[in-house]
Amino acid sequence: MKYYKKIKSIILLLPVLFQLSCGEGITPEPETTQKPGFSGKITFIGAWPDSITRTHLVVFKNLLQSPGDFNILNLKFVGPEIPYGISEINYNSLDTAFIQITSGEYAYVCVAQSKTIDLSLNRIDWTVAGVYYANGDTTKPGTLVIPENTLVTNIDIICDFNNPPPQPPGGR
């Protein structure tokens, strides 16, 4: 008789287990009208240094507090190459990018320049020409916050070649 009680318990337990698996599991990402991104204007002041081979708008997840922070895993956005010698450019991260940004919080947004002929990911080969500051506070880099399904605007950067910003550790 006690065996039949066990059978009964199992039979009662089965619907509970079945219910657990009646979810769909993984679902397709819903279509959104707006992809996450950011846009703004980059202004260059003064004469461009000689021998610049490439200039890019880049975004890092975390602050560059050591040369090791300048790495591909910390790098979350790389915009298209900015033409040499221009005085200003309007950009939109959704237009084109080598690495596309996703929603989230980013601690360091800057314009970086390199003089090497081949593309290098070594910190020493790059110079920061301008940094994004939030709300006019130039004492520390501004944080870029991109909510889901939102294009954040007015992320403006000034690159003053006569008065360059503080360089992260590991540069020349």
Partner 1 sequence: MEFLFKMFKLKISVYVITLLFSLVTFSLSFAQGYSISGIVKDTLGVPIQNVNVVKKGTLLGTTTNQSGFFEFKNTKPGIYTLEFSLIGFQKLVYDSIKVQNNSVFLNVVLRETLIKAEQIIITAGRHEEKISELTMSAEVISSDFLSKKNLFNVENALRYVPGVNMTEDQISIRGSSGYSRGAGSRVLLLIDGIPFYTGDTGETIWEIIPTSQLERIEIIKGAASSLYGSTAIGGVVNVITKRISDHSLTSVSSFLGMYDKPHFDEWDWSDRMRFFNGLTVSHSNRFNDFGFSASLTRLEDDSYKQSGFSKKYITFLKADYDFSTTSSLSLFFNSLNKRGGSFLYWKDSKNALVPPDADQGQRTATNRYMSGLIYKNLLDQKFLLNVKTSYYLNKWNDESEAGNRATSNLIRSEVQMDYSFNDKSLLISGVEAMHADVRSNIFGDRNANGFGIYSHFEQKFSFPLIVNAGFRYDYNKLSSIKGSGAISPKVGLNYKLNPQLTFRTSFGLGFRAPTLAEAFTSTSTSGITVKPNPLISPEKNLSFEIGADWNFKEIIGAEINFFSNEFYDLIEAGIDPADGLVIFKNVTRARIQGFELSYNFSLLKSDLLFSANYTYLYSRDIDLKRALKYRPKHSIYSSIDWKLLNVDFGIDARYWSRVEEIDEELIDLGLVKDGKKRTEVIVFDLRVGYQLPFADFNSKILLNADNIFNYNYVELIGNLKPIRNFSLSIEFQF
**Strand 151-152 vs strand 157-160: parallel, antiparallel, or unpaired?**
unpaired
Segment near partner 1 (CB under 8 A); pick from 14-22, 50-58, 138-146, 157-165: 14-22
Does residue 166 interact with partner 1 by CB under 8 A?
Answer: no
Among 15, 23, 83, 136, binds partner 1 (CB under 8 A): 23
Rounded Cα gap, residues 91 and 80, in angstroms: 9
CA dihedral 70, 76, 79, 80 (to 10 degrees): 80
Residue choice 12, 15, 21, 172 for contact with partner 1 (CB under 8 A): 21
Under the binding rule (CB under 8 A), the answer on residue 3 touching partner 1 is yes
CB of 161 to partner 1, least distance (A): 29
Phi, psi (rounded to 5 degrees) for 16:
-65, -45
Q: For the chain, first and last CA: distance in Å?
A: 85
Give the footprint of partner 1 on this chain (CB under 8 A): 3, 6-7, 10, 14, 17-18, 20-29, 31, 68, 71-74, 76, 99-100, 121-122
